[in-house]
Every structure is written in structure tokens, then in C-alpha cells.
Amino acid sequence: MGIGRTTIWRWEEKIIRLVIAILQEYQTGHDYLDNYQRFILAAIYALKNGYVESGRKMSNGEVKAYLRSKRGELTREQFENWRINNGL
């Protein structure tokens, strides 16, 4: 994806930490990113670059609102079920 550490840190500070439902699933206590964390970052990347929602690029505030509205579908459990069902 070509996302630098600074961008990831900024998204964690300005988006993920402000969406409590996502933050609770996102935190692991590890120094490395796991597959779920990469998935959330890829979702943010897609939203901010207009690959979702009719090609409209979203601001940080719009991304937070989107993640809040989809929090039931973006859980770690849902992600793991999707991976298993798709043989990943």
C-alpha cells in the first residue's frame, strides 16, 4: 500500500483512537501489526483515497463516522470469520 510509519501513527492518533469500538479491537499490546490491524489501516486508506462510497475521498472526520457506523461489521471476530471462510 505504500503507507509510511508516520502516516500509520497519524491515523492511529487522529482516527482509530477516537473510534472506541475500533480501538478496543485494534489494540493488542504488540510492537508489530497483525492482520486485523492491517485490515483496518487498509480500510482507512481506501476511504481516504476514494475507493469506497462512490469514489469520494473522505476526511478524517468522515472516516471516523464511517467506522463508527460499521463498527458491528469491522470487529476482529468478523474479520477472522471472513479469513477462515475465504481460506486465507
Q: What is the pTM of this model?
A: 0.87
Spatial distance between the Cα atoms of 53 and 24, rounded to a whole number of angstroms: 25
pLDDT in tens, 3-49: 888 999 999 999 999 999 899 999 888 888 899 999 999 999 999 99
Residue identified by cell 500509520 is 8
Q: Kindly report the CA angle at 13 between 60 and 46, in degrees rounded to 5? A: 40
